[in-house]
Structure 1
Amino acid sequence: MTIKTSLCAGAALGVFLLGATAVQAQDTTTSWKGAPLFTNDTLTFKVRGRVYEDFVSQDVDRQTGADFEANVTRLRTARLGVEGTWNANWAYKAEASISSGGGVTAWEDLILEYKPNDNLSIMAGNFKTVAFENISSSRYITMMERGPYNDVLDVGRVMNVQVKANGENWTAAVAISGDSLNNADPTATATGGSETVGVNGRVTFVPINTDTTKVHLGAWARVRDRQDQANFTYQARNNTNYGARYVTTGAVGVSDKMIGLEGLFIQGPFSVQGEWAKADVDRLANLSSDFTTYYVSASWFVTGEIRNLDVKKGELGRTRILNPMTSGGLGALELAVRYDNVDLTEFNIAATAGEYKAWTLGATWYPHPYVRFMANYTKSENDNAAVGADVDVDTLQFRAQFDF
Structure 2
Amino acid sequence: MLNILVRRSAVGLGACAVLAGTGAQAQTAAPPASTDPQVLIQAQQRRIDQLEARLRTMEARLAIAPAPAIAQPVAPVAPQVAAPVVPPVAARVPPVAVADIPERVARPPVVRIVQRLTDSEASPPPATGNGEKAGVVFVNGLPRVNSVDGHWWFRPRGRLFLDASTTTGAFAGRNITGTTLGSARLGMEGAVGNVSWALEGEFAENQVVWKSAFVNIRHHLLGLEADGSIGNRFNDRTMDGSVGLGTTPFTDFNTVAATILPRRGFWGVGLQERLYGPNWHASVQVTGEDPNNIGDGDDGLTVVSRMHWNPIKSKGLTVHLGGWGFHERLGGETGSLVRASAIAGGFNTLVRAQPGPVTGVDSDTGYGAELAVITGRFWTHNEWGRRTLHRAGGTDLSHDAFSLSAGWFVFGTTSPYDARRGTWARARIEDPVTTGGWGAVALRARYQEVDYRGLPLGGLGRSTTIGGTWYINKITRVLLDVTDWHIANPGDAPGSIDSGQTVNLGLQVQF
Q: Same fold (TM over 0.5)?
A: yes
Q: Among 464, 479, 497, which residue is 1:359 paired with?
A: 464
Secondary structure in structure 1 of the residue aligned to 2:366: strand
In 2, are the aligned partners of 1:238 and 1:393 still within 8 Å (CA)?
A: no
Q: 313, 321, 327: which one pairs with 1:223?
A: 327
The Cα of 1:47 is off from its aligned counterpart by 0.8
Per-residue deviation, 1:95: 1.0
Question: Within the alignment, does 1:257 sit opposite 2:360 as a pair?
Answer: no
Identity rate of aligned residues, in percent?
23
Higher relative contact order (CA 8 A, sep 6+): 1
Matching residue of 1:180: 290
1:39, distance to aligned residue in structure 2 (A): 1.0
Q: Deviations over 1:97-126 (max 9, x none)?
A: 0x212x311111111111223711111111
Name 1:8's counterpart in structure 2. none
Q: Given that residues 151 and 235 in structure 1 are in contact (C-alpha distance below 8 angstroms), is that contact kept between their aligned partners in structure 2?
A: no
Shift of 1:131: 1.3
Q: Are the equivalent residues in 1 in contact too, given 2:353–2:460 (CA < 8 A)?
A: no
Shift of the 395–183 alpha-carbon distance from structure 1 to 2, 3 Å rule, reads farther
Q: After the TM superposition, which residues 293-312 of structure 1 pair with which residues of structure 2 at under 5 Å, given as runs?
A: 293-303=401-411, 305-312=413-420
Question: 1:289–1:251: structure 2 CA closer, same or farther, 3 Å change rule?
Answer: closer
Higher percent of residues as helix = 2
Q: Distance in 2 between matches of 1:387 and 1:328?
A: 52
Are the equivalent residues in 2 in contact too, given 1:60–1:391 (CA < 8 A)? no
Instruction: Compute the displacement of 1:316 (Å).
Output: 1.5
Question: 2:166 aligns to what?
Answer: 57
* Cα distance in 2, alignment partners of residues 239 and 167 from structure 1: 37
Distance in 1 between residues matched to 2:317 and 2:275, nearest whole Å: 24
- TM-aligned CA deviation for residue 234 of structure 1: 3.7
Matches within 5 A, 1:332-351: 332-347=440-455, 349-350=456-457
Could you tell me how far 1:324 is from its partner in structure 2?
1.3
Quote the residue 1:5 is aligned against.
none
1:32 to 127, 138, 147: 138
Match in the other structure for 1:151: 258
Counterparts of 1:204 and 1:246, CA distance in 2: 30
How far residue 381 of structure 1 moved from its aligned partner, in angstroms, is: 0.8
Where 1:144 maps in the other structure, the secondary structure is coil
Shift in CA distance, 223/284, structure 1 to aligned 2, threshold 3 Å: same
Q: Distance in 2 between matches of 1:210 and 1:369?
A: 24
1:316 pairs with one of 420, 424, 449: 424
- 2:160 and 2:183 in contact (8 A); partners too: yes
Is 1:115 matched up with 2:213?
no
SS of residue matched to 1:302: strand
Conservation of the 8 A alpha-carbon contact between 1:377 and 1:394 = yes
- Conserved 8 A contact 1:134-1:146: yes
Deviation, structure 1 residue 366:
0.9
Contact in 2 for aligned 1:148/1:239 (Cα 8 Å): no
- Residue aligning to 2:188: 82
Bigger radius of gyration: 2
**What's the offset of the Cα at 1:79?**
0.4
**CA displacement at 1:386 relative to structure 2:** 8.0
Q: How many positions carry a matched residue from both structures?
A: 363
Counterpart residue type for residue 282 of structure 2: A
| 1:67 CA displacement | 3.6
Partner residue in 1 for 2:280 = 170
1:241 maps onto 2:350 in alignment: no
SS at match of 1:248: coil
**Counterpart Cα distance in 1 of 2:320 and 2:143:** 33
- Give unmatched runs, 5+ long, in structure 1: 1-26, 188-192
Aligned-partner Cα distance in 2 for 1:237–1:387: 15
Post-superposition shift, 1:197?
A: 0.8
Question: Unaligned 5+ residue runs, structure 2?
Answer: 1-132
User: Is 1:61–1:393's contact at 8 Å kept on the other side of the alignment?
Assistant: yes
Aligned partner of 1:204 among 308, 316, 319: 308
Offset from partner CA, 1:232-281 (integer Å, 9 cap, x none): 12421123112233422334443111111112211111100011111111
| Alignment-mate amino acid for residue 311 of structure 1 | A
Does the CA contact (< 8 Å) of 1:246 and 1:391 recur in 2?
no
Change (3 A) 1:291 1:370: same
CA-to-aligned-CA distance 1:288-325 (integer Å, 9 cap, x gap): 11121110110011115212211112221111112212
Task: For residue 357 of structure 2, give the secondary structure of its aligned residue in structure 1.
Answer: strand
Structure with the larger strand share:
1
Contact persistence 2:372–2:380 (CA under 8 A): yes
Q: Are 2:305 and 1:195 aligned?
A: no
| Alignment partners' CA distance in 2, 1:169 and 1:96 | 34
